[in-house]
Every structure is written in C-alpha cells, then in structure tokens.
Amino acid sequence: MIFNNIKRFKILSIVLISLLLSSCSSNYQWGWYVILPNNKTGLTNIDFLLSGLGYTISLSLIAIFFAIIIGLIVSVASISENRLLRGLNIGYTEIFRSIPVLVMILWVYYGLPVLINLNFSAFVAGIIALSICESPFIAEIFRSGIQAVPKGQKEAGSSMGLSFFQVFYLITLPQAIRIILPALGNQFVYMLKMSSLVSIIGLNELTRKANELVVSQYRPLEIYTFLVLEYLVLILIVSYLVRRLERSLKI
C-alpha cells in the first residue's frame, strides 16, 4: 500500500512539473495567484472552492448508502428460485444501468416532479438519481459475492432449520460482504467522481464552485487544476481508508 501511495504521488509530481515547464515554454500568462494562499485573493478563492467539499462528501455517502440498500434487495431477487423475481432483477439491472447518469439527474430534477407533483431540491434529486444509477452495479457485485459463498454452508444452515432469510442474513451475507468490500470501495470512489455531474442542476459541490469561480476570475486552467487536485486528494484518502478496512476484516 505504501508503494502504491508513493507511486501515485510520483505521478502527481510529474504532472505538476510538466505544468510548470509548459508554463515557461508557452505564451499563456499564468495566474496562479488566484489559488495560492500567499495572498488575500488566493485565500478567499481557496476557501470558496473548499466550501463545496461538504456537499460532495455528504451527497456521495447518502447516495451510496441507498444504492447499497437497493442493490442488496435486487440481488436477493437474482438468487431466488422464483422466475418472476429473477425476471424483475434482470429487467431492473438492464434498464437502469443503460441510462447515463447525467440523463438520469436531469430527468429526476426536471421530469419526475411533473409526474408526481412534488419538487425536489438539487441535493435530493442528486441522491435519487445517483442511487438509482449505481444500484444495478452494486446488485451485480452482491450477486457475485453471494454466489461465491460455498453452497455447503448454506445447506448446513438449512439443515439446522433456518429459514431462507435467516441463512441469508446470518451465514451468506456476512461472508459475501467480506468478499465484495474492495468492489464496494471502488464503487464509492466512482460515486465521488459522478457526484460532480450534479453541478449541472445547481448543487454547490466542488465542481459547481469551480465553475462559478471561473466566471468571476477568468482563470479556468488554474482553477480547474485546483479542482483536479481536490478530487485526487479526496479519492486517495478514501482509497486508503478502504484498504485499512479491508485489512481490519482480514480480506
């Protein structure tokens, strides 16, 4: 893990050095002062950009929570012996994983209120759209994890008189979670990145803040470079925490 982190930081250093070298060789007049903390303007801009961090993290956490709940329910249908439930699982998975995330966000925010006569805030609409789009992928992850649990353990539970749901909850699910935790961690990283699309409906998360600052400062390259670094640091931290969790569970 330490080697992987060192490798990532080396890559980041190479990128930054390349940017500095290109700034020396090109005719572009760089204005790094807009995001440097050594002046009042830079400090104000950094504070403005970081103010969207809370929305990004909370949106991603809530959306991945609901996506996991929905995905778990859908995955149970996939292992059922009932053909109707298996058909519903296939239909749900194929339909919703085929819809682009951006399209779903726009439809939930602008279209769904027309159907149910209920308006959503950008934050709630983002949660709904991201949860729906992510849940089919998580359902497939759960399905693969459930199928990886040896059949003998499930049969042993049934022979002890446990019901289907007791076997699933007490025997199958805990082992499946250990198996699929790395994949769930990857999906959370994916959710963090996809949350940037919610900026299109006005949520003041990281990307929206960067877009607003570009309009007032006219320094897109510098500001979007800072945005890239924000997401990079955030995702590196999440990846590190996921690995720590994996080790604690002895995966």
Distance (Å, whole) CA 222 – CA 214: 9
Q: Of the CATH numbers 3.40.1390.10, 1.10.3720.10, 3.40.50.620, 1.10.10.10, which one belongs to the domain with range 53-203?
A: 1.10.3720.10
Residue 3: the pLDDT is 47
Q: pTM to 2 decimals? A: 0.82
Cα-atom radius of gyration of the chain, to the nearest Å? Answer: 22
Domain extents in the chain: 53-203
The phi-psi region of residue 205 (left if phi > 0; otherwise alpha if psi is between -120 and 50; otherwise beta) is beta
Q: Is residue 203 helix, strand or coil? A: coil
The phi-psi region of residue 118 (left if phi > 0; otherwise alpha if psi is between -120 and 50; otherwise beta) is beta
Position 2 pLDDT exceeds 50:
no
Mean per-residue pLDDT, 85-114: 90
Compute the residue count for the chain.
251
Distance (Å, whole) CA 50 – CA 110: 28
Residue 37: the pLDDT is 85
Position 19 pLDDT exceeds 70:
no
Residue 250: the pLDDT is 64
Distance (Å, whole) CA 116 – CA 103: 19
